Amino acid sequence: MATTLDTVFLSSTAMDLTAFRDAVWLRLTNTGVFHCVRMETFGPQDTSAVEHCRGGVCGADIFVGIIGHRRGWEPFGSDSNDPRSITEMEHDWAHEARVRRFLWVAPDSFPQPADQREPDALHARQTTFRARIREGNTGIVSHDGFGAPALLASEIVEHLLKLKLAQAMVAQAKPAEGRGIDTSRAETEAGVAAALDALADAGDIDLLALAQDPTAAKPADLEDKLRARAEAMEAKARPLVEQGRKGLAESAATWRHIGALAFLHDTAKALAAYDKAVALDPDNAGGLRFLGELQFRRGDLAAADKAFEQLLGVGLRNGDRKAEAMACTRLGWVLRTRGDLAADEEMQTEALRISEAIGWTEGIARATANLGIIYSTRGDLDRAEEMQLKSLGLEEELGSKEGMAAAYGNLGIIHKTRGDLDRAEEMQVKALALNEELCSKEGMAAAYGNLGNIHFTRGDLDKAEDMQVKALALNDELGRKEGMARAYGNLGIIHKIRGDLDKAEEMQIKALGLNEELGSKEGMARACWNIASIRQQRRDIPGAGAYMRRARDLYRDMGLADKAADADVWLRDLGCPE
């Protein structure tokens, strides 16, 4: 089965890396998996070639930059207001167009013939460009491979083959069931790519053959190969205490690879693999992070809380500030689910502080978005919007369509709460378009649900129902209990408005049951309130009161005094005794 060719734009400084660039171009072209273009494709070096290069970069799927020490051609000259080299321009265009970038930067020790030394001014500008790339640290894969052109070509091609295969495997996978979590698609792909790397190094797979036909890559078969190796390493390492530590750590890494692959299709297997990895290597931040996320996904809040506390401890002991920030973010999720918004805010604020201190843009974006959700839940819409706009700007800077879609969705919810339905719909349509582009069923489901709420507010029940049914179908396909609960709750409200109280209560009971499984106090409170309203309409006053009291108590537990007070008013008006 033939695979679609990915277009790779190959950019490099010229004189010092000509042989390297030519070797990479030839290897990429010969894979039959990539269509490789470079500046030479666009003719002579003149100003028209600049626009051709821009079009080539922006139309590519992948940007590969090989960055040496020579400046190379500056299309507009060193005396212009834009004295960038063509390589620097291509790099910046790729960033602006959100083309995925992978950079190999020649080390400072890379030899440079004396006859290729550029004037000091050019050399200084190239040094500044290299420093800018390193400081941004976005896309840098390696400083290695520059010993010989064939070596660099092999490293680059293998990296791209692993990535392409990982992308295909993630795209064709059925995500694990449960609550949505913070693991991005890029992180999922990186975990799968690491597993593929281990398999390729051991000679267990042919990367090129699988990249040419990704359907032949069966996660379960690959997991079996890794499992056999992990068990053999453990058996060999355990009798030898000193050597065993290293062997057990290597086995733990292999179990993490198994977990990354199992995550594509089987939550229970993934959870078991990460549990094994943590038992063998309890100080590995990655193992603890994913173990906790999977436990959280399945609604085991106590186990997730324990894993995230361990992650925080590892970060503090090892001086791993990123692990600290990730732990704080995730401890906040657990607290929010339990209804403790004040403690959640403290955790997200600490995650933000740490992320800002280490300059971790992704961490800043995530913590800011989480704070926005907290403020929105409390009804502080101005502050919520400020946080979501900040998160959106950071996600745009990162080129993360996934993060941008989440921010647009959150902004849409804020605008709807304010009553600006046109603006709310605009945001949700943007979120839907990005999620469709990403083939993210989870994101599409969220956008459909939010659009359904907008149509409901406008009074268009048929369109609202259509959106909620689409959301429910996608969430059911993914096994996402949280999304299913929201869709059932929204459909119940639609049926209540139409007067079909039996169907309405059936939907709300389903929503309540799912939220109970997830331990979501907010979801349970919302469903109880809706059931109380249905029971009131049926004139079942005792039943209505029982459900409303439960909703009120849940809101009190969450610290949402206004909502709890509204429930008390409702109970008094209905004449329900305590």
- pLDDT tens-digit series, residues 6-47: 899 998 876 678 889 999 999 999 998 999 988 776 655 555
**Start-end of CATH 3.40.50.10140 domains in the chain:** 6-163
- pLDDT tens-digit series, residues 123-171: 888 888 888 888 765 677 777 778 889 999 999 999 999 999 998 898 8
pLDDT at 107: 87
pLDDT of 53 above 60: yes
Q: State the architecture of 440-517 in CATH terms.
A: Alpha Horseshoe (1.25)
pLDDT of 415 above 50: yes
**Residues 85 and 126 sit within 8 Å (Cβ to Cβ):** yes
**Residues 110 and 69 sit within 8 Å (Cβ to Cβ):** yes
User: What is d(CA 231, CA 221) in angstroms, rounded to the nearest whole number?
Assistant: 16
Q: Which amino acid is at 458?
A: R
Nearest-CA neighbor of 100 among 174, 182, 163?
163
- 3-class DSSP assignment, residue 528: helix
Instruction: State the pTM of this model.
Output: 0.78
What totals of helices (H) and strands (E) does the chain contain, helices first?
Answer: 25, 5
3-state per-residue secondary structure call for 379-408:
CCHHHHHHHHHHHHHHHHHHCCHHHHHHHH
User: What is d(CA 495, CA 490) in angstroms, rounded to the nearest whole number?
Assistant: 9
pLDDT at 15: 66
User: Which two tokens mark 202?
Assistant: 């051991």
pLDDT at 14: 62
DSSP character string of 444-494: HHHHHHHHHHHHHHHT-HHHHHHHHHHHHHHHHHHT-HHHHHHHHHHHHHH
* pLDDT band, residue 178 (cuts 50/70/90): very low
| φ and ψ of 223, to 5 deg | -60, -40
**Start-end of CATH 1.25.40.10 domains in the chain:** 440-517
- pLDDT tens-digit series, residues 231-288: 888 887 766 555 556 668 889 999 999 999 998 888 889 999 999 999 999 999 999 9
Region of 293 on the Ramachandran plot (φ > 0 left; ψ -120 to 50 alpha; else beta): alpha
- As to burial, measured by CB atoms within 10 angstroms (0-12 exposed, 13-18 middle, 19+ buried), residue 495 is buried
Please tell me which residue, 284 or 5, carries the higher pLDDT value. Answer: 284
Please tell me which residue, 219 or 174, carries the higher pLDDT value. Answer: 219
**Residues 68 and 106 sit within 8 Å (Cβ to Cβ):** yes
Q: State the architecture of 6-163 in CATH terms.
A: 3-Layer(aba) Sandwich (3.40)
**Residues 199 and 222 sit within 8 Å (Cβ to Cβ):** yes
Q: Of 13-27, 171-185, 502-516, give the range with the top mean pLDDT.
A: 502-516
User: Which two tokens mark 246?
Assistant: 């290293």
- Please compute the mean of the pLDDT values over residues 75-102 and round it to a whole number: 86
What single-letter DSSP state applies at residue 273?
Answer: H
- 3-class DSSP assignment, residue 66: strand
